[in-house]
């Protein structure tokens, strides 16, 4: 069989581990893998290279993607979907294996409806692809962000400061919640639930009146923040930092982690997940699957319809929100204690 392989959207640790597994298992079965550079754009422009086990040796541990990637959606470019189909036929491909987040896989789902055979693998540090419980890259990003929050904790304590750390997550708070709990953040602000700057400030004043001298807040880059009218402008982390400083009078510092969270070597768990997905992708191709998403459900890798990714993003489940809440500053307490309104 001839299999086209691509990585699209934002990169993440673990992509190379998946590429390695796909190529190795495919070659062992007598298949050929054609790697397309720069995601769907490379498919449209015919930017491809044959991949062999020899070429993909030693990449299990490396960050990024040897295939490169791009934020390119074929449905947003005239003639691009026809070009995808033309490449599929010209290269005599039997199937595409597509590693992507909701954008890349959303395009894959639409293309699959038009008859292009596609098996999808979910990857994004945001962990918010619908249909799967885990995406490649998330475990590593959580570890990276948690370590950064740990470091911010110690300098915050030394200076008696309120430290704000902004992590990635435009639409969901997976990374904020997981890294925040793991690193003992005192509050976590996410897109799924609105945080009021007034009540957060009151909670921190109350916490500091009770003896704490420093605190840490983790803010997702797409966090829903209320009461920020006077503080408009800048990133969500900046809005929270400014809002808390004005309302509490504490010294506040902001750290934006940015692309540090997407870089570097994958953790062992991400390597494992990526390897399982890569092997399962070739099995799915051999079984004649199409419009199929590989999903991690518990310890299993299962096949679900690729169309499942399309309605949007998977929010953080209530159980994790409840855990985060129980480990955060009690925002309802200040009023009960009769604290002065900020
Ligand atoms: O795709 C995941 C993500 O990491 C988001 O959390 C973040 O908003 C975005 O990528 C940043 O993308 P870019 O690297 O294109 O600026």
For the segment 226-267, what is each residue's pLDDT rounded down to a tens digit?
998 765 689 999 999 999 999 999 999 999 999 999 999 999
pLDDT digits (tens, 9 = 90+) for 18-39: 999 999 999 999 999 999 999 9
**Ligand 1 center to 135 CA (angstroms):** 14
Looking at the fold, whether 32 and 111 belong to one and the same domain comes out as yes
pLDDT digits (tens, 9 = 90+) for 258-309: 999 999 999 999 999 999 999 999 999 999 999 999 999 999 999 999 999 9
Question: What pTM was estimated for this model as a whole?
Answer: 0.95
**Ligand 1 center to 4 CA (angstroms):** 25
Looking at the fold, whether 119 and 186 belong to one and the same domain comes out as no
Which pLDDT belongs to residue 330?
81
Residue 275 lies in a domain: yes
Number of domains within the chain: 2
Assigned token pair, 239 = 């809005």
Looking at the fold, whether 58 and 114 belong to one and the same domain comes out as yes
Looking at the fold, whether 146 and 133 belong to one and the same domain comes out as no
Which pLDDT belongs to residue 157?
97
Looking at the fold, whether 156 and 271 belong to one and the same domain comes out as no
Task: Read off φ and ψ for residue 114, nearest 5 degrees.
Answer: -90, 5
**168 in contact with ligand 1, CB cutoff 6 A:** yes
Say how far apart CA 74 and CA 56 lie, in whole Å.
27
Residue 236 lies in a domain: yes
Average pLDDT over residues 67-94: 98
Q: Would you put residue 38 in left (φ > 0), alpha (ψ -120 to 50) or beta?
A: left
Looking at the fold, whether 93 and 216 belong to one and the same domain comes out as no
From atom 1 of ligand 1, which residue's Cα is the shortest distance away? 10
Handedness of CA 23, 138, 154, 253 (dihedral sign): positive
What's the CATH code of the domain at 170?
Answer: 3.40.50.460
From atom 8 of ligand 1, which residue's Cα is the shortest distance away? 170
What's the CATH code of the domain at 115?
Answer: 3.40.50.450
Looking at the fold, whether 207 and 256 belong to one and the same domain comes out as yes
Looking at the fold, whether 48 and 145 belong to one and the same domain comes out as no
Using most ligand atoms within 8 A of CB, pick from 7, 70, 168, 264 the residue to mutate for ligand 1. Answer: 168
Residue 342 lies in a domain: no
Looking at the fold, whether 133 and 53 belong to one and the same domain comes out as yes
**170 in contact with ligand 1, CB cutoff 6 A:** yes
Looking at the fold, whether 276 and 291 belong to one and the same domain comes out as yes
Looking at the fold, whether 204 and 332 belong to one and the same domain comes out as yes
Assigned token pair, 65 = 């993607």
Residue 206 sits in which domain range?
Answer: 141-261+317-336
Among all chains, which residue has been given the structure tokens 């005239």?
A: 78
Contacts of 231 (CB under 8 A, 6+ apart): 197, 239, 242, 243, 246
**Ligand 1 center to 171 CA (angstroms):** 10
**124 in contact with ligand 1, CB cutoff 6 A:** yes
CB 142 within 8 A of CB 178: yes
Residue 102, exposed/middle/buried by CB under 10 A (0-12, 13-18, 19+)? buried
Residue 341 lies in a domain: no
From atom 10 of ligand 1, which residue's Cα is the shortest distance away? 10
pLDDT digits (tens, 9 = 90+) for 148-165: 999 999 999 999 999 999
Which pLDDT belongs to residue 334?
36
State the SS3 of the chain: CEEEEEECCCCCCCHHHHHHHHHHHHHHCCCEEEEECCHHHHHHHCCEEEECCCCCCCCCCCCCCCCCCCCCCHHHCCCHHHHHHHHHHHCCCCEEEEEECHHHHHHHHHHHHCCCCEEEEEECCCCCECCCCCCECHHHHHHHHHHHHHHHHHHHHHHCCEEEEEECCCCCCHHHHHHHHHCCCCEEECCCCEEEHHHHHHHHHHHHHCCCCCEEEEEECCCEEECCHHHCCCCHHHHHHHHHHHHHCCCEEEEECHHHHHCCCCCHHHHHHHHHHHHHHHHHHHCCCCCEEEEEECCEEEEEEHHHHCCCECCCCHHHHHHHHHCCCCCCHHHHHCCCCC
**Ligand 1 center to 125 CA (angstroms):** 9
- List active site positions: 126
Q: What is the dihedral of CA 125, 164, 214, 335, to 10 degrees?
A: -100
Residue 11 lies in a domain: yes
Looking at the fold, whether 29 and 111 belong to one and the same domain comes out as yes
pLDDT digits (tens, 9 = 90+) for 163-193: 999 999 999 999 999 999 999 999 999 999 9
Assigned token pair, 284 = 């799915």
């Amino acid at each position: 069989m001839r299999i086209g392989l691509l990585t699209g959207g934002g990169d993440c640790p673990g992509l190379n581990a998946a590429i390695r597994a796909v190529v190795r298992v495919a070659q062992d079965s007598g298949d050929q893998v054609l790697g397309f550079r720069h995601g769907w754009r490379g498919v449209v422009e015919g930017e491809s290279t044959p991949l062999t086990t020899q070429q993909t040796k030693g990449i299990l541990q490396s960050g990024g993607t040897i295939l490169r990637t791009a934020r390119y959606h074929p449905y947003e470019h005239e003639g691009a979907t026809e070009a995808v189909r033309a490449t599929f036929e010209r290269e005599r491909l039997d199937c595409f294996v597509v590693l992507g987040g909701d954008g890349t896989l959303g395009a894959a789902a639409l293309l699959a409806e038009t008859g292009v055979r596609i098996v999808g693998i979910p990857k994004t540090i945001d962990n918010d692809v619908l249909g799967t419980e885990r995406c490649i890259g998330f475990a590593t990003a959580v570890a990276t962000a948690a370590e950064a929050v740990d470091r911010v904790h110690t300098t915050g304590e030394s200076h008696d400061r309120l430290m704000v750390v902004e992590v990635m997550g435009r639409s969901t708070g997976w990374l904020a919640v997981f890294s925040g709990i793991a690193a003992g953040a005192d509050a976590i602000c996410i897109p799924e639930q609105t945080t009021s700057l007034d009540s957060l400030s009151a909670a921190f004043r109350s916490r500091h009146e009770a003896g704490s001298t420093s605190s840490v807040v983790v803010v997702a880059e797409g966090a829903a923040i209320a009461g920020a009218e006077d503080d408009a402008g800048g990133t969500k982390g900046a809005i929270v930092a400014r809002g808390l400083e004005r309302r509490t009078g504490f010294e506040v510092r902001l750290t934006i982690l940015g692309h540090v969270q997407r870089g570097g070597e994958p953790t062992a768990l991400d390597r494992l997940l990526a390897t399982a997905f890569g092997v399962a992708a070739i099995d799915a191709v051999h079984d004649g699957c199409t419009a199929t998403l590989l999903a991690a459900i518990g310890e299993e890798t299962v096949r679900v319809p690729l169309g499942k990714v399309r309605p949007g993003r998977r929010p953080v489940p209530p159980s994790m929100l409840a855990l985060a809440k129980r480990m955060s500053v009690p925002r309802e307490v200040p009023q009960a204690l009769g604290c002065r309104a900020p």
